[in-house]
Amino acid sequence: MPPQVFDYIYKRSTDGKHFYGLCDRMHAVADTFIERRRTEIGDQTAAEVGRKGATGKRVHLDFLDRLLLARDSEGQPLSPEEIRHQVDTFLFAGHDTTASAISWLLYNLSRNPEVRAGLLAVITPSWAAEL
């Protein structure tokens, strides 16, 4: 079994210490960003918070704003840790999905030379025009 299965061993390994150090650093950056936005929002309502478009009217609430304004069934806001977990999930799910899609595309292009040739025929002129 890989060492990650046994957290108590993995956390003490060189790789584990490096990995958890990077996680702590990422969490610190996310916490700072979340707290900065929480301070900007203050006591505003959803109608007051949305990003402004070119006309000065509210266009939309972004993901973080929605989390910061969310309330549970008892009217309490989400904790900073709950918000960070949701933001982490949103960011990493997008990263994993993109990486999987690109891997799948490259694999299938390598297995289908005629499709790869057709794709190159379509995109090569646009690259040449930019050079």
pLDDT of residue 51: 63
Number of structural domains (the chain) is 1
Question: pLDDT tens digit string along 40-95?
Answer: 888 887 777 766 656 666 667 788 888 998 988 998 999 989 999 998 888 777 77
Q: Is residue 43 part of a domain?
A: no
**10 is a domain residue:** no
Whether 95 is covered by a domain: the verdict is: yes
Query: With 90 as the cut, is the pLDDT of residue 126 above it?
Result: no
Q: What is the dihedral of CA 38, 40, 43, 45, to 10 degrees?
A: -90
Between these two residues, 50 and 23, which has the higher pLDDT value? 23
pTM of the predicted protein model: 0.59
Query: Domain range spanning residue 90?
Result: 79-131
Does some domain include residue 89? yes
Establish if 45 belongs to a structural domain: no
| pLDDT higher than 70, residue 125 | yes
60: helix, strand or coil: strand
Each residue of 61-93: b (16+ CB within 10 Å) or e?
Answer: beebbebbeeeeeeeeebeeeebbebbeeeeee
Is 115 inside any structural domain? Answer: yes
Using the predicted structure, report yes or no on whether residue 108 has a pLDDT greater than 80. yes
Mean per-residue pLDDT, 8-14: 88
Q: Is residue 57 part of a domain?
A: no
